[in-house]
Amino acid sequence: MLIRTAAAAGPFNIPLLGSWEFIKLYLCDGDMARMYERLGARYGPVVFLRVAMDTPVVAIRTNETIKASREEASKDLQLGAIGGSYLYRQMSAWHNLGLSFAEGKNWHDNRRFTINTLGKLGFTRRKIEPLVAYECAMTAQKLTEAAGQPVDSHQILPAAALNSILQLLMSRRFELDDHQVLRMRSDSVTLFSIMAKIQTYLDFAPWLNKLAGKDSVSKELDRVMDTFYEFVDQVIAEHEETFNEDEEPRDLLDAYLAARSQGRTDQDLSRANLRVLMKDLIVGGLEGPYTTLSWLLLLLAEHRDVQQRVQDELDAVVGADRTPTIEDQHACPLTLAAIDETLRYATLTPFNRHFAAAGGATLQGYHIPAGSVILVDINSLHHDPDVWGDPDVFRPDRFLGEEGARLRPPGAWLRPEPALLSGGALQSHHAVPVRGGAAAEDDAAPAGRPAAYDRRPRATRSPCNPVRPW
């Protein structure tokens, strides 16, 4: 057996500046997934690069390599630590707070508290179904009120996707056209764009932030997070005024206040930690379901034959007199397959980002330098011809039958919002794409992937072409 101890192959590196491919990526505002696709074809399934100040980056690609790397991962390869990035520390309020960007004990404590509390509050499909059903009804009503005129789905879907989880977190609900939630949605796009940055100059010279102008990435991040903190602080203050420790908690926020009033000392229950935790949960609750819905409507608009089949299935199973329920999912395999195929085809999160431990590691026979940024290329996994056959074709039927059960990832359908909301929207309305500011009525889908998504380096991909349900 050949044992390789050198670093994996990769493109030419310019000392201090990093690999030329990364320089081109940011100069040209390019697509990181396609860059790694190009590099993988040249250098193989494990690609080694360097970014600014010679920080090592290792990209793991293809289905077999990713599976093997998970099996080989040892204690010195800490898949899960996010590292000490300046911006990540800023997003955890500099003190390792919250959930999304915390590490170690505080991350475990916040995660355990959130999961246990939501479980006690009845955060189950049965609990969330009536909340989502109400949002389905409100969405359908908003579309009906348009009386056949185009409706920009970007203006109504964010609140519909967020409201069900928001009621469990803090007993709040937004109207579908509320400007505050639209502002939060816009800022969440900026937040995820910032999350995609592997490093910035602030990691090497944080003092430069004092000299940077108002448009610096750190100050932009402060502005974005202030949008969420403004809302969170308002809700926390309202809960603190109405909280009664002798009553059952109304929501997660109440449960947090109750734990704090009991004087628990086993975890950080400060107000600062609470506001960061709530911010993280709101951003996660908004981005995931909304982005999935947006992509689904876009792809169904571009593939009208699939949309018609989905609507025929909804007509047969649900009809027009009620909203979809969780039980209907089992009788709507094509609708579920369309969502599965959307998640694969669009690959909403192209990369999982991890860090190696201080001592370095060995992976697939390659040496991983200490402090390396490890990128697991999920995009290559979802577009591997050896697995999918025709990965650049939107074909939901691949997820039907026994083969579909094998391909479907474990943990699918943990959250029912995409299925219920999309079913409610498509019961009596059609999705058509917008080109040049007007609704396009042609049924032909463009060759390959639709061009209508944001190709900038981001933690999640979002369609930039609004889909208008009629």
Cα–Cα dist 332/310, whole Å: 8
The pLDDT score that the predictor gives to residue 365 is 78
Parallel, antiparallel, or unpaired: how do β-strands 373-377 and 366-368 relate?
A: unpaired
What pLDDT shows up at residue 147? 67
pLDDT value, residue 446: 38
Q: Using pLDDT thresholds of 50, 70 and 90, give the confidence band for residue 73.
A: low
What pLDDT does 334 receive?
94
> Of 132, 183, 421, 403, whose CA–CA distance to 296 is shortest?
421
pLDDT band (50, 70, 90) for residue 163: very high
Q: First and final CA of the chain: distance in angstroms? A: 61
> What was the pLDDT predicted at 454?
41
Most confident of the ranges 56-70, 128-142, 211-225, 249-263: 249-263
Cβ atoms of 74 and 392 closer than 8 Å: no
Amino acid at 135: E
Return the sign of the alpha-carbon dihedral for residues 178, 181, 182, 183: positive
> Per-domain residue ranges for the chain?
1-91+348-382, 92-347+383-469
Q: How confident is the model over 82-98, as pLDDT tens digits?
A: 556 788 889 999 999 99
CATH of domain 92-347+383-469: 1.10.630.10
**Owner of token pair 């100069």:** 27
Highest-pLDDT range among 141-150, 224-233, 316-325: 224-233
When pLDDT is averaged across residues 3-20 and rounded to a whole number, the result is: 74
Contact 143, 425 (CB under 8 A): yes
Q: Closest Cα partner for 44 from 76, 10, 68?
A: 10
What is the model's pLDDT at position 323? 82
What is the arrangement of strands in the sheet containing 438-439, beginning at the earlier edge strand? 438-439, 431-435, 467-469
The CA-based diameter of the chain, rounded to the nearest angstrom, is 69
The sign one gets for the Cα dihedral 200, 204, 205, 209 is positive
Residue 236 has pLDDT above 80, yes or no: yes
Q: Going by C-beta distance under 8 Å and a sequence separation of 6 or more, which residues neighbour residue 226?
A: none
Q: Which residues pair with 362 in a beta bridge?
A: 367
Sign of the dihedral through C-alpha 95, 98, 103, 105: positive
Tens-place pLDDT, residues 100-122: 888 888 988 999 999 999 888 77
Average pLDDT across the chain, whole number: 80
Residue 341: pLDDT band with limits 50, 70, 90: very high
More confidently predicted of 252 and 17: 252
**Neighbouring C-beta atoms of residue 77, cutoff 10 Å:** 21
